[in-house]
Amino acid sequence: MYRVLTLTLVALAAALPAHAQNAQKVKEVLEGGPKPAITPQAPPLIPFSSKYKSGTILIDTKRRRLVYTLPGKRAYLYPITVGKLGFQWSGTHRISAKRDWPDWRPPAEMRERKPNLPLLMTGGLYNPLGAKALYIGSTLYRIHGTNNAGSIGLAASSGCIRMHNAHVTHLASIAKVGTKVIVKPQLPRSLARKFVPTAVPGVSQSAPQRRTAQRRSAPPRKRDMAWRRSILGLN
């Protein structure tokens, strides 16, 4: 009997380090950090004459731009992050809810790919959902802020649409619950030809303006290549 008890205690002792390591590795709840006030910042206005009603959100996955249509054949143009290869999608939905500093609950399939993710991370500056989230229908996808501003303009998410915190705060202030969201692989060139490089919130506008002037004076082929690079966020 004592021999069996001894063997059991030895087995438990051997298992404890692994258990302790896993407990440190995977936490059920992580704190998202502080929740400061974010000042909304409007992106550039562009001419945008289309069939879409005012107050519609259009997402161009290829060009990584979000358009919010306005009266008077105008629109706001925001730079965004889209899903990486294999995580891109398209369709028509509506905004079903809006949240300030939302909590993040990684879905089960994401935690299977990344076992170190928590079950829950509370809202805050460290939370990958950023300052605001606009929930898209009954899907798992959201238009949300980010704590990784360097990813804006890339295909880097698991399907959600990321925006600068100042931009998503602005969008959330004008887009109501029920707003139509149309996600397309690519908008027609006739609509996208007015797309321009969008400055990062808080950064001087002089550099983008200089690049625009240089493109206008460049030969046609170079101007076209510069436009393509700007759409891809390479400039």
Q: 10: pLDDT confidence band, cut at 50, 70 and 90? A: very low
Reference 212, options 235, 232, 189, 192; nearest CA is 235
Per-residue model confidence as pLDDT tens digits over 67-123: 999 999 999 999 999 999 999 999 999 999 999 999 999 888 888 888 888 999 999
Q: What pLDDT score does 114 carry?
A: 87
Of the residues 19, 93, 144, 170, only one is catalytic, namely 144
Q: What's the pLDDT at 26?
A: 53
Per-residue pLDDT, 171: 98
Predicted confidence (pLDDT) at residue 208 exceeds the cutoff of 80: no
Q: Which residue has the higher pLDDT, 86 or 226?
A: 86
Answer whether 188's CB lies under 8 Å from 50's CB.
Answer: no
CA dist 196 and 45 (Å) reads: 10
pLDDT of residue 212: 42
Arithmetic mean of pLDDT, 14-29: 53
Residue range(s) in the chain whose domain bears CATH number 2.40.440.10: 45-203
Higher pLDDT, 210 or 201: 201
Q: Over the chain, what is the mean pLDDT?
A: 80
Q: Residue 203: CB partners within 8 Å, gap ≥ 6?
A: none
Q: Kindly indicate the confidence band of residue 58, based on its pLDDT and cuts at 50, 70 and 90.
A: very high
Give residue for tokens 């258990």: 19
Band of residue 198 on the pLDDT scale cut at 50, 70, 90? low
Given a contact cutoff of 8 angstroms between Cβ atoms, the answer to whether 145 and 105 are in contact is no
Q: Quick check: is 93 catalytic? A: no
Coil/strand/helix, residue 5: helix
CATH topology of domain 45-203: L,D-transpeptidase catalytic domain-like (2.40.440)
pLDDT > 80? residue 185? yes
Q: Which position among 160, 164, 167, 170 bears the catalytic label?
A: 160
170 is catalytic: no
User: Could you give the CA distance from residue 66 to residue 58 in angstroms, rounded to a whole number?
Assistant: 6
Give pLDDT, residue 40: 97
The pLDDT of residue 209 is 41
